[in-house]
Structure 1
Amino acid sequence: MNYHVDENGYYGEFGGAFVPDELRENIDQLTERYVGILESPKFKKEFADLLKFYAGRPSPLYFAPRLSARYGARIYLKREELNHTGSHKINNAIGQILLAKEMGCTHIIAETGAGQHGVATATVCAMLGLRCTVYMGAVDVERQALNVARMKMLGATVEAVTSGGATLKDAVDEALAYWVSHPEAYYLLGSAVGPHPFPDIVARLQAVISAEIREQLAELEGRETPDYVIACIGGGSNAVGAFYHFLEDEAVRLVQVEAAGRGTEGTEHAASLTCGTLGVLHGSRSMILFDENGEVREPYSISAGLDYPGIGPLHAYLAQTGRSTVLTATDRQALEAALELAQLEGIIPAIESAHALAALPQLSFRPEEVVVVNVSGRGDKDMPMYVRELDL
């Protein structure tokens, strides 16, 4: 099967570009130009140089001996939390800002939930001298105060969004509304969601993760492919990057872990693949959480970065076709997984990444199997929450 976007911007029935007329010219121009720019020798060199000398790539692929002993497999951690700014988000921020500059844009707008995408965007804008505005739900501004301070120190304007549930969905709404009235700006989407071509742009830029995994496994294990790749999904950018170079290799089991919050039997969760239905959100057709009136409902997760009522169209397609396995992790399971990693391997993950780690006790492995877990972010930003929830 082909797991890449078609000429109309779809993965099977998922995707598309449902945008207002005011943005149609922007989307059409971006669609027409992005592949040529991303594939140009100039872009490739600039992108590779910044990833290496600024972001600090390649990120290590670390064999986790104590975690491996506990779960009976050869478990590796892709250490995206060691990138500059503390997550995988820097990969996409560098790439899209280079793309925006090539298209003549000098004002970058972005949305953020956990704050990592906002920090990465503000960081690259500061380095390249561009104006930066970041939209963030007021709830997330409060629970991710450290990242808000980082963005402001980097010179970004942070707009706190109070509408709706004041979380990630609402930040995206406000960022899109601003873009409609200011089409001269460049909207730097942080996840693999939104209208085509954004999901494909993000996938191409984050694909550096799986490219490195292949190279690193060849050195460490004498084989380029693992048996499992596990990643958390909210919108899905870290997962699409970890999966990208394994999509056509059916021998590699792809595991997506979404936020079950306080349990999928109620409504306090963000498990759109498990509990959602087909619909359109933020310019793309995918699996969405709706309420009984057919309105997009407020999701819930202890994790600001997974607190989103939809999923990227590629991830919906992977689930629908059976190419991926979809698991869920509750708040409590994620917290326990974070504590386990900290005490077994000396690594404190972001609460988003802890959801991926929470898949390990839900799966059965053979001792010879190679498992890669994408540790997409570091836990500094979540320490106040860990202190409160784990009674530290």
Structure 2
Amino acid sequence: MKNTFEHALPNAQGYFGEYGGSFIPEELQKVMDDINTAYNECRQDPEFQSELARLYKHFVGRPSPIFHAENLSKKYGTPIYLKREDLNHTGAHKINHCLGEALIAKKMGKQKLIAETGAGQHGVALATAAALVGLECDIYMGEVDIAKEHPNVVRMRILGANVIPATHGRKTLKEAVDAAFEAYLKDPINQLYAIGSVVGPHPFPMMVRDFQSIIGNEARVQFQEMTGTLPDNLVACVGGGSNAMGLFTAFLEDKSVAIHGVEPAGRSLTQVGEHAATLSLGEPGVMHGFKSYMLKDEQGEPQLVHSVASGLDYPSVGPQHSYLKDSGRVQYGTANDQEAIDAFFELSRCEGIIPAIESAHAVAYAIKLAQQGEQGSILLNLSGRGDKDIDFVVENYGCDYGIESLI
């Protein structure tokens, strides 16, 4: 199935309504303009599209299937379906845009890919893509997340990437982005900053969305083939928002389809630093080179954030999500840490599928919709597998679920 690379938004300056754009130093703007030019050439190039499609099929294993979660559906009285991005090579949706970014970097003559990662899935996917196309790879990761997501750190190093700890602030995703940007500014000519979500200065929110749109393009056809109709509801977790935009984009014009983004409510929505519910509680601001909703303090600086899911604890969000919130096309709700962990075990024990904690937020919200009386079908994006989270979950929550120790 073919990707969709032609959309009305963003405009030529990278704006989705009032959000997006490029708020970066003048010398870096030229580099971004070069990336934009290269991307526009690539998306019109049949050879590039053919190579990307070949890799999606034979390297990633696309199309990823849709699975009718019959046990979960029966238990909660609502038809629940999973788009199985967890079955992709490297275990998540991140490989979709990492391959595209790596091919663009190779075309531009770059020597190195550089990026941040939270849960480690973007880092693993980028290290994989770098190895495939023959580029060096530096991955910045918060010290807290390095300890929390140790299996993915090992994978990155096996693949030949340098994993560089971010040691300031809360030592999580936001600090990893800071460190990666700082390193990129030192040599933007020989490196490509392969941003890991639909965030950052233009063209990255557009480019990552377009590469991820394969998810929704496949799902739209697959769901109709399976059921004869479109889903009544879409559900996806939202940190930066790439897996959500990947699913949502193909359905935005289908007014019969309700769309739900799920943010992390963390430990408390009422306490600063205890959640990362940017769209629910934030306001417009500029961070990391783009304008979007963000969680900020009285000085306008990014607030401290928290989520049990390392890939969701970011104090901003993709600008297209901000546009979709304001337009009312997408409804943004939340799931807290405990709900996500409950859903992690629920899906594991009900369907035999261990989800990433990030994806478990979407599972939790789908269950809440069903419990609130939603009778229509729910298609949720199972954006990643939970292998990376097993040690953390057992250590911190295992006793509550009858797992006393690791063997």
Q: Does residue 263 in structure 1 map to residue 268 in structure 2?
A: yes
Shift of 1:247: 1.4
Amino acid at match of 2:118: G
Shift of 1:390: 3.4
Q: Distance in 1 between matches of 2:398 and 2:294?
A: 31
The match for 1:210 is 216
Q: Does residue 13 in structure 1 map to residue 21 in structure 2?
A: no
Q: Would the aligned equivalents of 2:366 and 2:380 in 1 still touch at CA under 8 Å? A: no
The match for 1:75 is 80
Shift of 1:365: 4.9
In structure 2, do the counterparts of structure 1 residues 3 and 339 end up closer, same or farther at CA, with 3 Å as the change threshold?
Answer: farther
In structure 2, do the counterparts of structure 1 residues 143 and 380 end up closer, same or farther at CA, with 3 Å as the change threshold?
Answer: same
Q: Distance in 1 between matches of 2:331 and 2:199?
A: 20
Amino acid at match of 1:256: G
RMSD of the alignment, in Å? Answer: 1.2
- Report SS of the residue matched to 1:231: strand
The match for 1:301 is 307
The match for 1:285 is 291
Q: Does residue 239 in structure 1 map to residue 247 in structure 2?
A: no
Q: How does 1:107-126 map to 2 (within 5 A)?
A: 107-126=112-131
Shift of 1:104: 1.5
Q: Distance in 1 between matches of 2:390 and 2:102?
A: 30
Q: Does residue 201 in structure 1 map to residue 207 in structure 2?
A: yes
Amino acid at match of 1:380: D
The match for 1:389 is 397
The match for 1:25 is 30
- Greater CA deviation, 352-361 or 233-242? 352-361
Q: Distance in 1 between matches of 2:96 and 2:347?
A: 24
The match for 2:232 is 227
Q: Would the aligned equivalents of 2:184 and 2:193 in 1 still touch at CA under 8 Å? A: yes
Q: Would the aligned equivalents of 1:22 and 1:180 in 2 still touch at CA under 8 Å? A: no
- Report SS of the residue matched to 2:293: strand
Q: Provide Cα deviations, 1:284-305, integer angstroms capped at 9, x if missing partner.
A: 1001111233221111011100
Gapped runs of 5+ residues in structure 2?
1-6
Q: Distance in 1 between matches of 2:8 and 2:248?
A: 11
Q: Would the aligned equivalents of 1:119 and 1:147 in 2 still touch at CA under 8 Å? A: yes
- Greater CA deviation, 90-99 or 357-366? 357-366
Amino acid at match of 1:148: V
Gapped runs of 5+ residues in structure 1?
none
- 1:165 is matched with which residue: 155, 159, 170? 170
What TM-score do you get using the length of structure 2 for normalisation?
A: 0.93
Q: Does residue 374 in structure 1 map to residue 381 in structure 2?
A: yes
Q: Would the aligned equivalents of 1:108 and 1:131 in 2 still touch at CA under 8 Å? A: yes
Amino acid at match of 1:103: M
Shift of 1:6: 1.4
Shift of 1:203: 0.4
Amino acid at match of 2:214: V
Q: Distance in 1 between matches of 2:356 and 2:145?
A: 15
Sequence identity of aligned pairs in percent?
A: 49
Amino acid at match of 1:274: S
Q: Provide Cα deviations, 1:80-127, integer angstroms capped at 9, x if missing partner.
A: 001000000010111111111111112110110000000000011112
- Greater CA deviation, 144-153 or 65-74? 65-74
The match for 2:60 is 55
- Greater CA deviation, 283-292 or 65-74? 65-74
Q: Distance in 1 between matches of 2:241 and 2:297?
A: 22
Shift of 1:366: 5.0
- Greater CA deviation, 187-196 or 285-294? 285-294
Q: Would the aligned equivalents of 1:38 and 1:99 in 2 still touch at CA under 8 Å? A: no
Q: Distance in 2 between matches of 1:28 and 1:235?
A: 22
Q: Would the aligned equivalents of 1:263 and 1:269 in 2 still touch at CA under 8 Å? A: yes
- Report SS of the residue matched to 1:358: helix
